[in-house]
Chain A
Amino acid sequence: MHSIIVVPPACAGPHDQIRIATGDRLTFGRASAGGGLAIAHEGVPRAAGEITAHLAFWLLSNLSEDQTYVVENPEGAGEHIKVAPGRVDAPVPFEFSRVVLPAAGDLLAFDVWAPRHAFRSVARSGLAGDLTAPAFALDRTKRYFAVLTALCEPRLRGEPHAPLPAVEQLVERLRPVWPTVTRSAVYWNIDYLAVKLRLRTDADGCGPARRANGKKDSLVSLALRFDLVHEGDLAVLGAARSEVAG
């Protein structure tokens, strides 16, 4: 698995994503054809910047003369860092990032994911020896975790053969804790979970609907098999769904 995934603006699907591994550099700018990320806008410098993957995080170099770039954490309630012009290799700590470039009055953005962010228990730090660690590291504060929990909810509530919720139902279920949730945001999180949990891609059926369903099925099976979500996690969905509203 490559450590950093760059999602170009208006990215149509996983095939347009650019995956880079530790030490790999990706340049972006107006002239970054052939291997780089091209951002077609007059206000963007020819070589606007560079992304370097490093372990589970990445570094941003601002190659512009006079523009400060902002890297936002879209789930971070305004959390962001600024990278001044000429700054080389500024580390970016977010799992999801949106790189915002000011360009002649417009704001252009593209996304960078760092799905290998790891989470370990601190409770056992006093123990000797190498820790046997789980293969999955989910951040329970992220929206993808809420989506996964909502997906697993019927089965966690003791209906082992319950049909999986449709995306519309997920949107309804998530709205109390995530007021701005949309269908596309839910789809986005399901896609991201497939990357994060490294689902095999060869098992996909044909057609987009079939694929989405297959993905949801696989996510739920994997999450329940390895106890990635359990009953206690239903708290991230807020109050239990009332029978009437359900």
Chain B
Amino acid sequence: MTGRHPHPVLVPHGYRIGNWEVREPLASGAFATVYAGRAAAGADPALPRRAALKFLPTGTRTPRQLRHLRELSEREVEVLARLRTPRLIRMFETLTVDDPDHPELDGATVIVLERAEGSLDSVLAHDPRPASGPAMLAQVCEGLYQLHRAGWVHGDLKPANVLLMGDGSVRLADFNMAAELHGTHAYAPAFATPDYTAPELLWPEMDERGARVRPSADIWAFGVFAHLVLSGTFPLPGGSTEARADAATRYARGAEELRLSPGLPEPWRRIVLACLAPTHARRITAEPLLRLVERAADVPRSARLPRLRAPFRHRHPVVAALLAAALVLPASLVGGGYAYVHYDDGTPVYEALPAASRAPTRSGGATSFGYHRCPPDSVCFFSEHNGNGEMCDWRGDDADWPAGDRPCAWAGGGPVRSIFNNLADGRKRRDVAYYRGSDFEPAGFDRTREAQRTGCTKHQAMGNLAGTYAPRSHRLVASCAAGESSTVGRILSVLD
């Protein structure tokens, strides 16, 4: 934008600023250039020996973009001065160049940052699908959560702004686009990286302060980012940024569907879908997202998050679950994620969808059904109402859904909302009973039921479930009418 040189700010090698001596350039963004810095002789011993020096040309002799460059550097300094968390890059100090002999540098802002080994961008250039992807995503998500919790929107999440530290962890960087929330939204500076920009912000309406952004814009960017890291491709089709941006707006208008990469592993597909909801209101929020991501990445829960565990867990489990569900309701209404509580035995209870959003409708207003996807002679469980969403299907029993021959991964992190028993007529055992415990054992709420199971669906029946649980095992039974504890049921299944 400014100048002809690839680096917007040229600083001579060996240039001295405060405690620092400038070394080689590390990276350049649209506005700033980052140089390696070495502690100069006589530097404050409390400072590290190496740092990254980010130069923003805010001097009075800088020909262009003075006003918003200053604003951009102020945004970054403010975020880093106020937020110090393990997932955000650390700032040591800020300096202003006072050097009339170098008019192009005079007045520049220098932000002294923790020195990283490189950005995720360069990692992806060599290895488009790094094995450490899930763990890195969990850390990026944690950083986003910390930022959102503090009332900020990052505004420019992308691989180039995720830095790799010496210990292999990653941190979020580059807060020039960050915006502090005022109520539900903030005003973003009018810059964006189109491939990571939520559709509502691609060609947003402007008022005099710019475009309004919400935290959900970062969530969209995280969805794109996760898809890229895990599959090596962008989630929206198109050979150029412009084409993908156009596809994103078409998707948001309902003119195109999302076709995620078949290479995207299952728990992540669900996560990416929750992030890439077409409207901001339907996107998951950072907190439930972090839960899902940590579970998918199989990393320990981050310690600083408050637990959702019900405080009443020694009382009657149903009461405890209902109370806890009431407590978490507002958060999950906003986020659309799965708020849940645990029984003592670890069985999750999910919150049911509000009635209005249970039946997905097509643009014409007709309810859409997905039961037809169920293969012949199978039982099928679905993640959404009316046979929509993810599907797991079996032809026989499964004593442990997460671990069996046909693992059903999505049910490990979300409820089952509908079922279709499509077993063939000729079978002797053609109803299906399901349990919240593995090995056809009752667990959690099942134990309070007379039949000691979650439910049973008759041959050729289909319908919506409560949507508050996911079974862990199911088996085919001769008849739902006979409880599994009854002798008749046992004898019939032995005969089969």
Q: Which residues of A does B touch, CB under 8 Å?
A: 1, 3, 21-23, 55-56, 116, 118, 121, 123-124, 126-136, 197-201, 203, 217-218, 221-222, 224-227, 230, 232
Specify which of B4, B8, B156, B203 is in contact with A1 (CB 8 Å cutoff). Answer: B203
A203 shortest CB reach to chain B, Å: 6
Chain B contact patch, size range: 35 or more
Closest to B119 in A: A129
B64 engages A232 (CB within 8 Å): yes
Structural contact, B255 and A23, CB atoms closer than 8 A: yes
Please pick, from A22, A126, A197, A217, the residue contacting B206 in the complex, using a CB distance under 8 A.
A197
A134 near B190 with CB under 8 A, answer yes
Stretch in B207-215, B284-292, B309-317, B320-328 touching the partner: B207-215
CB <8 Å contact, A135 and B6: no
Main SS of the interface on chain A? loop
B189 at the binding interface (Cβ < 8 Å): yes
When chains A and B are docked, how far (Å) is the Cα of A4 from the Cα of B138?
Answer: 41
A22 touches B246 (CB 8 A): yes
Alpha-carbon distance A121/B66, docked complex (angstroms):
17
Query: Who on chain B is nearest to A116 by CB?
Result: B203
Flag if B64 contacts A133 (CB, 8 Å): no
16 A-B pairs within 8 Å (CB atoms) are namely A1-B202, A21-B253, A22-B250, A121-B1, A123-B1, A129-B160, A130-B160, A130-B193, A131-B30, A132-B31, A132-B156, A135-B211, A198-B203, A198-B204, A200-B205, A217-B208
Q: Which of B3, B122, B202 contacts A123 (CB 8 A)?
A: B3
Say whether B67 faces chain A, with CB atoms less than 8 Å apart.
yes
- List 17 additional A-B contacts (Cβ < 8 Å) besides A128-B125, A226-B190, A227-B65: A21-B250, A55-B242, A123-B6, A129-B160, A130-B160, A131-B30, A131-B193, A132-B30, A133-B191, A133-B194, A197-B206, A198-B206, A224-B67, A226-B189, A226-B210, A227-B64, A230-B64
Chain B residues whose C-beta falls within 8 Å of the C-beta of A135 in the assembled complex: 190-192, 204, 211
Q: Which residues of A contact B190 (CB under 8 A)?
A: 134-136, 226
B146 CB to closest chain A CB (Å) equals 22
Q: Are A225 and B160 in contact (CB under 8 A)?
A: no
CB <8 Å contact, A225 and B205:
no
> Across the interface, which residues of B come within 8 angstroms of A118, CB to CB?
242
B220: chain A residues within 8 A (beta carbon)? none
A24 CB, nearest partner CB in chain B, Å: 9
Q: Across the two chains, which residue of chain B brings its CB closest to A228?
A: B190
Least distance between B156 CB and chain A CB atoms (Å): 6
Contact of B177 among A131, A132, A198 (CB under 8 A): A132
The answer to whether A218 touches B207 (Cβ under 8 A) is yes
Contacts A198-B203, A227-B68 hold; do A127 and B192 have CB atoms under 8 A apart?
A: no
Chain A residues contacting B492 (CB-CB under 8 Å) are none
A149 CB to nearest chain B CB (Å)? 14
Is B29 at the interface (CB under 8 A from chain A)?
yes
CA gap between A226 and B1 in the complex, in Å: 14
A126 to B4, CA, bound (A): 11
Residues of chain B in range 15-30 having any CB-CB distance to chain A below 8 Å: 27-30
- Residue contact B206 to A200, C-beta cutoff 8 Å: yes
> Bound complex: CA of A226 vs CA of B193, how far in Å?
17
Q: A23-B250, A198-B205, A221-B208 are in contact. Are A134 and B191 (CB under 8 A)?
A: yes
Q: Which of A126, A133, A226, A232 contacts B192 (CB 8 A)?
A: A133
- The distance in angstroms between the C-alpha atoms of A8 and B14, with both chains bound, is 63
**CA of A190 to CA of B159 in the docked complex: distance in angstroms?**
39
- Select one of B30, B68, B205 contacting A199, CB under 8 A: B205
CB distance from A214 to the nearest CB of B (A): 10
CA distance A232 to B204 in the complex (A): 28
Q: Is B459 interfacial (CB 8 A cutoff)?
A: no
Could you tell me the distance between the alpha carbons of A189 and B189 in the complex, rounded to whole angstroms? Answer: 25
A123-B6, A129-B121, A218-B207 given as contacts; is B68 within 8 A of A226 (CB)? yes
Beta-carbon nearest neighbor of A128 in chain B? B121
Nearest A residue to B65 via CB reads A227
Report chain B residues within 8 Å CB of A123.
1-6
**Interface pair A130/B195, CB less than 8 Å apart:** yes
Task: Report the Cα distance A76→B246, complex, angstroms.
Answer: 27
Chain B residues lying within 8 Å of A199, measured Cβ to Cβ, are 205-207
Please indicate the chain A residues that have their CB under 8 angstroms from the CB of B156 in the complex.
132
Instruction: Indicate if the CB atoms of A55 and B243 lie closer than 8 Å.
Output: yes
> How would residues 372 to 409 of chain B score, 1 for a CB under 8 Å from any chain A CB and 0 otherwise?
00000000000000000000000000000000000000
Given A127-B6, A132-B156: A225 touches B208 (CB 8 Å cut-off): yes
Residue-wise, chain B 285-319 has the 8 Å CB interface mask toward A (1 for contact) of: 00000000000000000000000000000000000
Q: Which residue of A lies closest to B125 (CB)?
A: A128
- If the complex has contacts A124-B28, A232-B64, are A130 and B158 also in contact, measured as CB distance less than 8 A? yes
- List chain A residues, Cβ under 8 A from B468: none
Q: Does B265 lie at the interface of the complex (its beta carbon under 8 Å from any beta carbon of A)?
A: no
Let me know if B30 and A55 touch, CB within 8 A. Answer: no
Q: Which 10 A-B pairs have the closest CB atoms?
A: A1-B203, A135-B190, A129-B160, A221-B208, A132-B30, A121-B1, A200-B205, A227-B65, A129-B121, A200-B207
A121 to B4, CA, bound (A): 9
* Known contacts A132-B193, A222-B208, A225-B210; A124 and B253 CB within 8 A of each other: no
Whole-angstrom CA separation of A201 from B8 in the bound complex: 36
Bitwise, B414-442 to A at CB < 8 A (1) or not (0) is 00000000000000000000000000000
Docked Cα-Cα span, A124 to B193, in Å, equals: 15
Bound Cα distance from A56 to B238, whole angstroms: 14
Query: How far is the CB of B2 from the nearest CB of chain A, in Å?
Result: 8
**Chain A residues, CB < 8 A from B28:** 124, 127
A124 contact from B1, B67, B249, Cβ within 8 A: B1
Residues of A within 8 A of B253 (CB): 21
For the complex, what is the distance from the CA of A47 to the CA of B111, rounded to whole Å?
Answer: 62
B63 at the interface (CB under 8 A from A): yes
Chain A residue numbers with a CB within 8 Å of B249 are 21-22
